[in-house]
C-alpha cells in the first residue's frame, strides 16, 4: 500500500476511534487491501452542497467521524457568524441505512457546541426541513440523505437561515472551516440533551397546512375527489406526509404501492430509488394499469423529486420527463391563478439555464416575469431573496424532476408537487382530458419543445483532465455548425460572457461563475455542456423545438425532434 495511504490508516488504527471501526480496518487490511486503499486514499470532499459518498470506514467514506468533523466545521462557522446570538439549527433524515444515527451524531456535535437543536423524531421529507428552518427561526440546518443514489450511499446537506442550501460566501467559508478540522479530537462529540428538542407532528401539521393553502381549485377536487391516484414512496420518507396531504386536499381514492410502502434503506425492489427511472416506477406502472388509474406519482427517498406517469394519446402508460412535468406545473400555476383572479402584477417564476425554454415562452405569453438561474434550487432560493419585496414568487423548478411551489420553502418539494399534480389531473379530468392531452395542447399553443440529455463518464486517473480538455476545446474553438445548423451564440458561464458568433458582439452574463457552456443555433436549438464538480463526468443537455399545428401531428413531429437530437449527438461525436 502507498505509504501516504498507510499513514492515514495508521492514524485511525492508533487514534481515538471506536474499536468496531479499528476491527473493520484490520479485517480489510488482511482480506481486501484494495478496498481499504480506496477508503483512505483521499478525504471525502465537503463541497458546496455538503457531503455525499459511500458509507464505510475511512477518510473517503461517510461515517460517524466524517459526519462529526463536517458538523464541527459548520458549527464553528455559525458561531463565528452569529457571535453571541442564540443559534438554532434543525436536523432531518431520510430512510437510508444509518441516516438516523448520522442525524443523531450531527445533533450531538451541534449540542456540544452550545447550539440549540431541533431534531425530527423520525424520518421526514427534505422539504419539511427547509420549512422548519424558516418556521423556527433557525440559523441553519442539516439533512442526512443521499437523495436518489444507490443504497451504499449516504450524505449530509447543509442549509442556511433562509431554508436554502449554502450559497456564496457561506458555502466557501463553511468549506474552509470543515477543512480546518483535521483531527477527530477537534470535534466536540457529546452535547447536553438539554440542547436537543425533538419535533414531529406539530411541524407536520404546519407544513401540510402550508401545502394545502397552495391549492388553486379546491372546488374542482370536491367534484373529482375519487380521482384514481397511484402513489409510491419508493421505500422513502414520502410515506410520512404525502398520503395525508392528498387526504387533506380532498382526494379519497389514493392507492399506495404496497411493495414499496415500507421505509427501507436497502431499497429492496429497485436498483436506484429514482422516480426518473422506468424500472424504479415499474411496480407503480403495473398497479396503475391494473386499476386504470388517472395518474401515477413516485417520490425519491428524501421526497424532494417527483416522477409522474400518465396515459398518452394512445392509452399507453408513459412517464413524463422532468421538463414536461415542470411545464405542466408552471403553466397550471400561471394560467389557473389568472383564471381565478388571484394573479398579481408582480408575479414571478424561476427556472434554470438547462431547463426547457418552453417555460420562458409560457411566462412571456402570460405576462409573468421569468428568471433563469444556475442549476440548483439554492440559486432559485437566492433569487427569491434578491427580489424580496419587489416580486411575488409563485413557482420554480428545473429539469431534474424538482419543483418548489409557494414562498414558504427554499428547496425542491415533492410533497407539494404530488398534491398539485393531482389537482391538475383533476382539473383536466373535469374537462374530459388527461395531463397528456394538456401537454399536447401546450405544445400547440407555445411551441413543441423537446429535451434530452446524456451523461459521459471518463474513467481512470486522466478522466477529469479529459473532461477539462474537452471544455477548454469548446471554449476556445466553438463549433461553427452543429448538425447542419449554424451556431450563432456562445454562452460561457465560467467567463460570464456571451458572444454573438456572427457579429463578434459580447456581453456580460449576470450570474455567478459556473463551468457551463451553451451553444445556440439559428434554428433555436440549445446545447449545454456541464461537467460535474465532484466526479469525472460531463452532462450534455439538448433542447430542440418546432411548431405543432394539430394534435394529430404529434407523433410525426415528436419523431422528427427525437431524430434531430440523435443527429446532434452523432455530429458532436458524443457517442
SS3 311: strand
DSSP-assigned beta bridge partners for residue 89? 117, 140
In sequence order, what DSSP letters do the residues of 97-128 get, joined into one string?
Answer: TTHHHHHHHHHHHHHHTT-EEEEESS---HHH
To the query of whether residue 147 is one of the catalytic residues in this protein, the response is: yes
CA distances from 442 to 29, 34, 276, 374, 403 (A): 60, 54, 22, 25, 19
C-alpha to C-alpha distance for 121 and 132, rounded to whole angstroms: 13
**Sign (positive or negative) of CA dihedral 378, 380, 381, 386:** positive
Q: How far is CA 305 from CA 8, 118, 356, in A?
A: 38, 24, 17
Query: Please, what is the Cα angle at 139 between 133 and 140, to 5 degrees?
Result: 65
Q: Do residues 562 and 555 lie in contact, with contact meaning Cβ atoms separated by under 8 Å?
A: no
Sign of the dihedral defined by the CA atoms of residues 92, 333, 285, 323, in that order: negative
Name the strand (E) or helix (H) holding 11.
helix 3-14
Q: How many CB atoms lie within 10 A of CB 84?
A: 6
Distances from the Cα of 435 to the Cαs of 19, 295, 400, 422, in angstroms?
56, 9, 19, 10
The phi, psi pair for 423, rounded to 5°, reads -65, -40
> In the beta sheet, which residues pair with residue 54?
153
Active-site residue (options: 99, 147, 237, 483): 147
Each as own residue / partner, the long-range contacts of residues 564-572 (CB below 8 Å, 24 or more positions apart, any chain) are 564/483, 564/525, 565/450, 565/452, 567/483, 567/484, 568/482, 568/483, 568/525, 568/527, 568/542, 568/544, 569/454, 569/540, 569/542, 570/483, 571/482, 571/483, 571/484, 572/479, 572/482, 572/527, 572/540
Cell 445556440 found at: 520
Tell whether omega for the bond before 169 is within 30 degrees of 0, i.e. cis: yes
CA 262, chain centre distance (Å): 23
Distance, CA of 296 to CA of 212 (rounded, Å): 20
Q: If you write DSSP's letter for every residue of 234-262 in order, what string do you get?
A: TTSGGGGTHHHHHHHHT---EEE-GGG-S
Q: CA torsion sign, 232 to 235 to 241 to 247?
A: positive
**Among candidate residues 433, 427, 414, 426, the one with its CA nearest the CA of residue 252:** 426
Distances (CA, A) of 412 to 304, 364, 409, 493: 5, 24, 8, 23
Give the whole-angstrom CA distance, residue 557 versus residue 575.
Answer: 24
d(CA 153, CA 542): 29
Active site residues: 147
Amino acid at each position: 500500500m502507498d505509504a501516504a495511504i498507510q499513514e492515514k490508516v495508521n492514524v485511525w488504527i492508533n487514534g481515538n476511534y471506536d474499536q468496531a471501526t479499528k476491527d473493520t480496518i484490520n479485517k480489510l487490511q488482511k482480506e481486501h487491501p484494495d478496498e481499504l486503499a480506496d477508503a483512505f486514499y483521499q478525504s471525502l470532499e465537503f463541497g458546496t452542497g455538503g457531503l455525499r459518498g459511500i458509507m464505510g470506514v475511512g477518510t473517503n467514506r461517510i461515517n460517524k467521524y466524517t459526519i462529526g468533523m463536517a458538523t464541527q466545521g459548520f458549527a464553528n462557522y455559525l458561531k463565528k457568524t452569529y457571535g453571541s446570538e442564540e443559534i438554532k439549527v434543525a436536523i432531518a433524515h431520510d430512510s437510508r441505512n444509518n441516516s438516523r444515527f448520522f442525524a443523531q451524531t450531527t445533533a450531538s456535535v451541534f449540542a456540544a457546541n452550545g447550539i440549540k437543536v431541533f431534531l425530527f423524531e423520525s424520518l421526514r421529507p427534505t422539504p419539511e426541513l427547509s420549512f422548519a428552518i424558516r418556521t423556527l427561526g433557525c440559523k441553519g440546518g442539516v439533512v442526512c440523505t443521499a437523495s436518489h443514489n444507490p443504497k451504499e450511499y449516504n450524505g449530509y446537506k447543509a442549509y442556511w437561515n433562509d431554508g436554502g442550501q449554502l450559497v456564496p460566501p457561506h458555502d466557501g467559508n463553511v468549506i474552509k472551516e470543515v477543512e480546518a478540522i483535521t483531527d477527530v479530537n477537534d470535534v466536540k462529540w457529546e452535547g447536553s440533551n438539554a440542547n436537543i428538542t425533538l419535533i414531529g407532528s406539530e411541524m407536520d401539521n404546519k407544513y401540510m397546512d402550508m401545502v394545502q393553502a397552495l391549492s388553486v381549485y379546491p372546488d374542482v377536487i370536491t367534484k373529482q375527489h375519487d380521482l384514481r391516484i397511484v402513489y409510491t414512496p419508493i421505500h422513502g420518507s414520502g410515506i410520512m406526509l404525502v398520503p395525508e396531504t392528498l387526504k387533506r386536499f380532498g382526494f379519497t381514492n389514493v392507492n399506495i404501492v404496497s411493495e414499496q410502502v415500507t421505509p427501507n434503506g436497502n431499497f429492496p425492489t429497485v436498483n436506484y430509488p429514482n422516480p426518473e427511472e422506468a424500472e424504479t416506477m415499474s411496480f407503480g406502472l403495473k398497479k396503475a394499469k391494473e386499476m386504470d388509474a388517472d395518474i401515477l406519482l413516485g417520490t425519491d427517498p428524501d421526497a424532494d423529486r417527483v416522477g409522474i406517469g400518465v396515459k398518452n394519446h394512445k392509452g399507453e402508460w408513459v412517464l413524463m420527463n422532468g421538463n414536461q412535468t415542470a411545464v405542466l406545473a408552471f403553466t397550471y400555476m400561471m394560467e389557473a391563478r389568472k383564471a381565478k383572479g388571484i394573479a398579481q402584477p408582480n408575479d414571478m417564476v424561476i427556472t434554470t439555464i438547462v431547463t426547457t425554454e418552453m417555460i420562458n415562452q409560457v411566462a412571456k405569453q402570460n405576462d409573468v416575469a421569468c428568471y433563469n438561474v444556475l442549476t440548483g434550487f439554492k440559486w432559485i432560493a437566492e433569487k427569491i431573496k434578491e427580489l424580496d419585496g419587489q416580486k411575488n414568487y409563485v413557482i420554480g423548478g428545473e429539469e431534474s424532476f424538482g419543483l418548489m411551489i409557494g414562498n414558504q420553502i427554499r428547496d425542491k418539494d415533492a410533497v407539494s408537487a404530488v398534491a398539485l399534480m393531482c389537482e391538475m389531473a383533476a382539473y383536466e379530468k373535469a374537462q374530459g382530458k388527461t395531463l397528456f392531452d394538456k401537454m399536447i395542447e401546450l405544445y400547440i399553443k407555445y411551441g413543441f419543445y423537446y429535451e434530452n440529455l446524456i451523461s459521459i463518464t471518463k474513467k481512470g486517473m486522466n478522466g477529469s483532465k479529459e473532461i477539462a480538455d474537452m471544455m477548454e476545446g469548446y471554449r476556445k474553438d466553438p463549433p461553427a455548425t452543429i448538425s447542419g445548423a449554424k451556431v450563432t451564440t456562445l454562452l460561457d458561464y465560467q467567463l460570464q460572457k456571451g458572444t454573438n458568433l456572427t457579429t463578434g458582439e459580447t456581453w456580460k452574463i449576470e450570474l455567478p461563475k459556473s463551468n457551463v457552456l451553451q451553444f445556440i443555433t439559428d434554428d433555436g436549438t440549445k446545447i449545454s455542456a456541464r461537467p460535474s464538480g465532484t466526479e469525472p463526468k460531463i452532462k450534455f443537455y439538448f433542447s430542440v423545438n418546432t411548431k405543432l399545428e394539430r394534435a394529430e401531428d404529434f407523433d410525426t413531429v415528436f419523431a422528427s425532434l427525437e431524430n434531430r437530437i440523435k443527429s446532434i449527438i452523432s455530429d458532436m461525436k458524443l457517442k
